[in-house]
Chains A and B, each alone.
Chain A
């Protein structure tokens, strides 16, 4: 698998670090990992850098993960970047809403490194 540039969006810095560690444990060769604590920050980072993968929480201040996914699908530069949601909100309606907005995967917290790998690798291969 080629080198991956990843953007991790979560209002918890602890979770951002754990997600990054899980991506590395999944065997991804991460050439660039950037972090944002909400959708607004993430959009600003997306304006400056290119990414191959975005992992985003849903419940965040300023702009939540669903609004963030909806917004980036309207941006020419970012609309094709696969997004995997990582969230405590795992209800069927939340999952369907995220997928309908363009998310490619959905991981429920708490999660294991194996679950991150199971969900992220197919998204990157597709």
Chain B
């Protein structure tokens, strides 16, 4: 196994990683869901905490990648991924959001030279509910990509240590 490559500093990484994170999210959503998310003209607020998918990263890059959306968006994603009606898709949206999160994390790390083999992903976790907040203990860089999926917020956040 080769030595891990030097990760860029948090400040250097922010803008380039935001772009790569955006590309990864668009790539995954376009390929697996069949809809390319768009960029909102204005970011109104942080995502509402109703559905949160999370995947941990460990190794040369340690942190957490999370996806935030509404149950409506999650159901639409599951519906399109599986080719099912809304009612049937509602049984699968937790799984669908977890898998989309997993694939965005995988696509993101594949875009950074040397990182693919040096950074492992955890099995995804999905939190759902009406009133909760996630608080990461990661101290470091936070990169957020605000997107719209069929007009509804779809936010990808990468928090990394160091």
User: What residues of chain A have their CB less than 8 Å away from a CB belonging to chain B?
Assistant: 11-15, 17-18, 21, 59-61, 87-94, 108-112
Within 8 A of A (CB), among B95-136: 95-96, 98-99, 102-103, 105-107, 110, 116-118, 120-123
Contacts of B83 in A (CB 8 A): 21
Within 8 A of A (CB), among B58-107: 78, 81-83, 92, 95-96, 98-99, 102-103, 105-107
- Interface residues of B toward A: which range? 20 to 34
Shortest Cβ gap from B22 to chain A (Å): 15
B123 touches A109 (CB 8 A): no
Contacts known (A18-B81, A94-B117); A112 close to B31, Cβ less than 8 A = yes
Residue B32 is within 8 A (CB to CB) of chain A in the complex: yes
B81 touches A88 (CB 8 A): no
Residue B137 is within 8 A (CB to CB) of chain A in the complex: no
Tell me the number of A-to-B contacts counted with CB atoms below 8 Å: 65
A61 touches B28 (CB 8 A): no
Contacts of B92 in A (CB 8 A): 13-14
User: What residues of chain B have their CB less than 8 Å away from a CB belonging to chain A?
Assistant: 1, 27-28, 31-32, 78, 81-83, 92, 95-96, 98-99, 102-103, 105-107, 110, 116-118, 120-123
Contacts known (A61-B123, A110-B28); A12 close to B82, Cβ less than 8 A = no
The complex places the Cα of A12 from the Cα of B106 at a distance, in Å, of 15
A91 touches B116 (CB 8 A): yes
B116 touches A88 (CB 8 A): no
The complex places the Cα of A99 from the Cα of B106 at a distance, in Å, of 20
Specify which of B28, B32, B117, B120 is in contact with A92 (CB 8 Å cutoff). B117
Contacts known (A18-B32, A93-B117, A110-B32); A13 close to B103, Cβ less than 8 A = no
Specify which of B96, B103, B116, B117 is in contact with A109 (CB 8 Å cutoff). B103
A and B contact pairs by CB, cutoff 8 A, 26 listed: A12-B95, A12-B102, A14-B81, A14-B82, A14-B99, A15-B99, A18-B81, A59-B120, A60-B123, A87-B106, A88-B102, A88-B106, A88-B107, A88-B121, A89-B106, A89-B116, A91-B110, A92-B116, A94-B116, A108-B106, A109-B103, A109-B106, A110-B27, A110-B32, A110-B107, A111-B31
